[in-house]
Amino acid sequence: MNKKTLSEIDAASLRGRTVVVRADLNVPIEGGEITDDQRIRASLQTIQTLTQAGARVVLLSHLGRPKGKPSPDFSLAPVARRLDELLDCPVRFVPHPDGPEAAAAVGGLSDGSVALLENTRFLPGDTDNDPGLAASWAALGDLFVNDAFGAAHRAHASTAGLAEAMVARGGEAVAGHLMARELRFLEEALRDPERPFVAIVGGAKISSKIGVISALLPRVDRLLIGGAMANTFFRALGLDTGASLVEEDSIELARRLIEQGGERLVLPVDCIVAAELDANAVTRAVAREDVGPGDRILDIGPVTRERFSDTVRGARSIVWNGPMGVFEVAPFAEGTVQVARAVASACDDGAIGVLGGGDSAAAAERAGVVDRLTHVSTGGGASLELLAGDVLPGVESLTDRSA
């Protein structure tokens, strides 16, 4: 990565400076209570680096999809309370994402303190990448730190627009610790992986992951396919998939990928089927050739689990994005859990194991192996696009090292 990072900023130069930080504090909240604070904790290193150096920190983040207008259901107030508990400095919640009130609150910060502004997406200009809004946020300080990898694939006013506005007024825009770590692991996974290099791609649709599959297929030694997208590959092989989810308009695409991949593209040989997606459903393990007319394929089968696990345990570099089945429902979780444990086992033996965010991260959590993995991304969509070789606007807009 040729972008400047917070680690390259002289800590002594930060005292008394106002630093605008775009964090990803988009956490699940139910009844006003945070149910999973993992993204908040992932942001702490950057915030603490700044506060301990005596900077005045202005935090920006979105939460959910309030559609450009204020809503109490999407307020960051609970996040401010949690940050105040986790940090060793005061955190002031500002109930305005922009405007005179926000500017006044920021102006009143003392060295080493934090202000969290209200949800950036309460303003329609954020997702519209409004240059005036970006300039307004940039005017709050003289350094911008983008630590929101989960939003880096979007060109929003609080990400790419703010970086550009900060640079335009003579400041710098740098990657925070979390952003730098995400980019390092995800980019290195593609650039020069130690071999054998194994990719695992699951989830529902080929169409949503065609970029990742196409980017990884020429690079890997094996690419394991799971989840409902495997059904579309089965149809491309001329197999019956019963009542399973299939992307009819992607069958020809699946056929081409099978031809391209040859022995590197590995499909399930058996599956777990049921008549319905239900926690109390009667399940059967069947060969992929024996799926009945009323069957729904909802997980990889026991033979495939063992084969996939053996392949993963023998790998030295692993990239995983997407579950092997409907892991949220107990009877269909075992394939995903077993693969997660195999990735963890490989990491225990010195392999590099990198998981894309979203469902993959949730699956690793369910399997109880998060702490054994090399890196679990906080950004589902961003990790997908980076693995597919796409340029991320939130990264591209940062200051180059050579600048």
**pLDDT mean over 238-242:** 97
Residues of the chain with pLDDT > 70: what percent? 99
Burial 47-84 (b: 16+ CB within 10 A, else e): bbbbbebbbbbbbbbbbeebeeeeeeebbbbbbbbbbe
Q: Per-residue DSSP letters for 41-93?
A: HHHHHHHHHHHHTT-EEEEE---S--TTS--GGG-SHHHHHHHHHHSSS-EEE
pLDDT digits (tens, 9 = 90+) for 118-142: 999 999 999 999 999 999 999 999 9
Q: What pLDDT is recorded for position 1?
A: 66
Does the annotation mark 205 as catalytic? yes
Q: Output phi, psi for 177, to 5 deg.
A: -60, -45
The one catalytic residue in 205, 284, 307, 366 is 205
Q: What is the mean pLDDT of the chain?
A: 94
Q: Which of 326, 309, 297, 286 is nearest to 200 (CA)?
A: 309
Task: Tell me the CA end-to-end span of the chain in Å, nearest whole number.
Answer: 14
SS3 state of residue 332: helix
**pLDDT mean over 210-232:** 93
User: What is the rounded CA–CA span in Å between residue 292 and residue 285?
Assistant: 12
Q: What is the pTM of this model?
A: 0.86
Does the annotation mark 381 as catalytic? yes
**pLDDT mean over 41-62:** 97
**pLDDT mean over 302-307:** 98
Q: What pLDDT is recorded for position 360?
A: 80
Q: Which residues have C-beta within 8 Å of that of residue 170, sequence separation ≥ 6?
A: 142
User: What is the rounded CA–CA span in Å between residue 348 and residue 172?
Assistant: 39
**pLDDT mean over 331-335:** 95
pLDDT digits (tens, 9 = 90+) for 245-301: 999 999 999 999 999 999 999 999 999 999 999 999 999 999 999 999 999 999 999
CATH number for the domain running over 6-180: 3.40.50.1260
**Residue positions counted in the chain:** 403
The one catalytic residue in 176, 358, 379, 380 is 358
Residues of the chain with pLDDT > 90: what percent? 82
pLDDT digits (tens, 9 = 90+) for 383-403: 878 877 788 999 999 999 874
pLDDT digits (tens, 9 = 90+) for 138-168: 999 999 999 999 899 999 999 999 999 999 9
Residues of each domain in the chain carrying CATH 3.40.50.1260: 6-180, 193-232+249-268+302-387
How crowded is residue 105: how many other Cβ atoms within 10 Å of its Cβ? 19
Q: What pLDDT is recorded for position 191?
A: 77
pLDDT digits (tens, 9 = 90+) for 342-378: 999 999 999 999 988 777 888 888 889 999 999 988 8
Q: Tell whether the model's pLDDT for residue 63 goes beyond 90.
A: yes
What number of helices (H) and strands (E) belong to the chain? 15, 17
Q: Tell whether the model's pLDDT for residue 190 goes beyond 80.
A: no
193-232+249-268+302-387 fold: Rossmann fold (3.40.50)
**pLDDT mean over 161-187:** 94
Q: What pLDDT is recorded for position 309?
A: 98
The one catalytic residue in 3, 4, 22, 39 is 39
